[in-house]
Structures are given as structure tokens and as C-alpha cells.
Amino acid sequence: MGQPHTSRKRPLGLVGRADRLRPASTLMSSGVALIFATILGAGLTTGFDLKDGLRDLTVIVAWVSVALGVLRLLACGTTRREAAPLLPHEALPSYTVILPLFREAHMVPGLIQSLSRLDYPTDRLDIIFACEANDPDTVKAAQALARAPFRVLVVPPTVDGGPPQTKPRALNYALERSGGELVTIFDAEDRPHPQQLRQAASAFAAHSEWSALQAPLNYFNTRDSWLAAQFGLEYAGLFQVLLPFYDALELPFPLGGTSNHMRRDALLAVDGWDPFNVTEDADLAFRLAADGGGIGWIAPPTQEEAVSKFRPWFKQRSRWLKGYLQTWLVHMNAPLSGGWRRAVMLQITLGLSLLSVLFFAPVIFGLILFTIARLVGITDVAIPSIYILTLGFSLLCGMAVGALGAVRAGQPHLLKHVPMMPFYWLLLFPPLLQAIIELQTRPFHWHKTEHGVTGAPPEIAGG
């Protein structure tokens, strides 16, 4: 346990990733070319008539909205997978837990306290603080408190021409210097359920086809602000409703940035995490799927801290959206790799998510302006009621996912915030514009999220 893995002959994340290392402008050009080809095709079918083109585009958007709404309703009606029988003590595999930290010295004591409650034999645990060399305060804090099974790895500085200083780079460094059969990641503010590792190991034993699985992320500070409450609804819907639905259908889906668990051999087979991607979790999921691995879901959650103020939320969200753009553009180089299920889910979870953010705010504001124009007599063209109904249906289905997620997450106080969810979705548009700009100007820049702002989370049941 804890010894470097010596079977590899090449650095993680840099082999076979030529498509991933191309300049962002080239990747964006591929995406723009695809969009242009789509517009050109639509123009040819309508004879480049603006009115007909807008009508056809509206019809397409309406049908896509209905399809997504139906998908969300199906997700609400799907039962979650039952937990696999827990493995006995002697059958549990070795586990590597990586804790990537940067400028988070103040988080070390609480993190050690939380992970010390894990219901897992310590002789099979290797818990690694992956600290950056240019962050001496965090290194000193971790070294002062680390005792077995905790240890500290200092990630060396970046070199010219090498990967940028990012979380996935630190993860790769730690992975190469560990030996657990299973691997998971927790962030500085994470408080995982004590049973999470044992349940994950048991689920892997029951599902040999899985390369990775995801545990739910719940926010413990959803009462801090309206923004934190909306963030909580978003996460509840995703981790408690949509991901269990995809899991039930055996469809791949993007992993979360923390509390994702992987088989070590599957990680090595795809060269670890991509250090150039700012949402390395989403990218990894689709690379594992392309390699033939399944992705599952388990119920024991991790408590996390939601960003409760607009400015840090904006920076975090723009990084996530930029990473989704990176991931979609990269994997669209070979969309059918890994089969049709992966290709479909690449579009549903990344492509359509980005398109929804891109079109939602302009559509809503366009409807408002159009209504004003009709009231003052500028136009007498009416919007067919069917389009308004499809939009309303889609919004209601999205709100239903958030409401059910809140109940499943044990946060019924969030239900009063459900009617305001569409206003939260409007806020996603400016970060997307920032993400598009940064993909050209600063594709690998990592907006660091500050943790420990709210304070300590409540005790987790079973802890």
C-alpha cells in the first residue's frame, strides 16, 4: 500500500491525447464548423427564407423541449437501484483516497476528522493529501496532522511545455504513487457518509462491468442564501433523480468532481485524468465509457458546501461550462467510440445542457419583448399557443426533478424555492458567455473555489 505503481512506462494523461492537446481555437473551429453546417442545412431546406427558417427552428426547439421534459418525467418515475450486499471485512479491497488541496490549510483538521469516521479497515486505506509545492502553508498543515492511513504528497511545480497546475494534474501525480485497487476523490470541504467506501466496494464487487460509480453530493448550507438554495435544488435533481435514472438504464453519465469511485486498472487503461480539462470528471466518464466501462450510482451521500454568493458562483460555473465545452468538442472527434449509448448521452448530458443554457435566456427575453411589441402594436404576428405550452411543459418537468430531488435528499425546506428555479436558470447565460470567451483566451485557466466559508457541516447520519 502506498508504493508507486511501476508497471506504467509513460506519464499519465499525456499518451494518446493528441486530440485533447490541440489548441482550443482548433477545437472551437471544429464546433463552429459543425454549427455552421447545421445552419446551412436548415437554410437549404427552407430556401433561406428568414420567416420559414425561424418557424422551423422554433418547431425543432419545441420538440426538443418536449423530449427533454418527457425524459425528466421518466426519471421522476424511476426507482433507484437497491444497494448491493455489503462485503465482509476480509473481502474488502485496498482503497486509495486522494485529497487534492490548494490554499486550504484551514480545511485540513476537519477533513481528517471526517475521513477518520469512514467505516473501512485502516490497513486497507491509503489517504493522500496531494498538495502543491507552491502552497507551503497547506503542505505544513497536512504534514503536521497526517498519521496513518493519511500521508502527504507534494506535487512538484509545473514545467514549461508540461501540463498546467490543475486538480487533475495533482490527481495523476498521486495515482502514480499509490496502489489501491479502488480510487476515490474528496475535496477539502467534503464530509462523506461513513458507509460510502464500503458500499462502493460492494457495488463494484456486484457489478463487474462498472469502471466507475458516483455517490450523491448534497449541500449542507442551502439555507444560507437564495442562490445556495437554488444550487441545492440543482444538485438534488441531478444526483438524486437524473443520475439514478441513467444508472437504471445502464447509460453513461458525467461523473461529479468528487465522491466518484473508480477501479484503478480502468483509470490506468485510459491514462488517468486529463490535466488540460477543467472538468476532468466529465471528460473521464466519457473516456471510461469509450473504453467499454460502465458507470453506476450508489446512495450514501457526501455533504458539500454550496457557493452562496454570486461572484464566486459565477467563476465556478463559468469553469464548469468551459469544461463541458472542452469535453464535448474533444469527444465529438469520435462521438461513436464506445457505442450508441455513449454517443446519445454525450449529447443529452453535455450538448443539450449547453444548448439549453445558450437558448433559454434569449428565448425568455425574446418572448417578453415580443409580447411588449404586440401590446404597443409594432407587430400583429401571434406566437402559436403550442410553443408556449411546450416551453411551460419543459419548465414544469425541470422543476419536478428539483422538487423530487429535494425530498429524496432529505431537504424538504427547499420545496418553497422550486417556483423560482426558472429565474436561477436565467443566471446561467452570462457564465456561459464567459466560458466561450475563456475557451479561446484562457482554455486551461482554473477558477479556484474558496471552501470553508460557511463553517462546519452538521453530523452525517451514521457518523
What does 143-158 look like in DSSP terms, one character per residue? HHH--TTEEEEEEPPP
- Among 336, 234, 324, smallest CA distance to 283 is for 324
Partners of 152 in the β-ladder:
129
pLDDT at 24 over 80: no
More confident residue, 421 or 67: 421
pLDDT at 41 over 90: no
pLDDT at 27 over 50: no
pLDDT at 1 over 70: no
At residue 452 the predicted structure's pLDDT band, cuts being 50, 70 and 90, is low
pLDDT of residue 454: 67
pLDDT at 225 over 50: yes
User: How many helical (H) and strand (E) elements, i.e. helices and strands, does the chain have?
Assistant: 16, 10
Percent of the chain, pLDDT > 70? 84
Alpha-carbon distances of 58 from 38, 64, 168, 361, rounded to whole Å: 15, 10, 40, 15
Q: How high is the mean pLDDT of the chain? A: 86
pLDDT at 23 over 70: no
What's the average model confidence in pLDDT over 249-264? Answer: 96
Query: pLDDT per residue over 91-148, tens digit each?
Result: 999 999 999 999 999 999 999 999 999 999 999 999 999 999 999 999 999 999 999 9
At residue 61 the predicted structure's pLDDT band, cuts being 50, 70 and 90, is confident
Domains in the chain, CATH or no CATH each: 1-463 (3.90.550.10)
Give the type of residue at 115: L
Query: What is the gyration radius of the CA atoms in the chain, in angstroms?
Result: 23
At residue 2 the predicted structure's pLDDT band, cuts being 50, 70 and 90, is very low
What's the average model confidence in pLDDT over 287-316? Answer: 95
Q: Match 444550487 to its residue by C-alpha cell.
A: 231
Burial letters 437-463, b for 16+ CB under 10 A, else e: ebbeeebbebbebebeebeebeebeee
At residue 197 the predicted structure's pLDDT band, cuts being 50, 70 and 90, is very high
CA distance 312 to 12: 31
- Among 211, 219, 215, smallest CA distance to 200 is for 215
Query: pLDDT per residue over 342-390, tens digit each?
Result: 999 999 999 999 989 988 898 888 888 888 888 888 877 677 788 888 8
More confident residue, 100 or 335: 100
Burial letters 361-392, b for 16+ CB under 10 A, else e: bebbeeeeeeeeeeeeeeeeeeeeeebeebbe
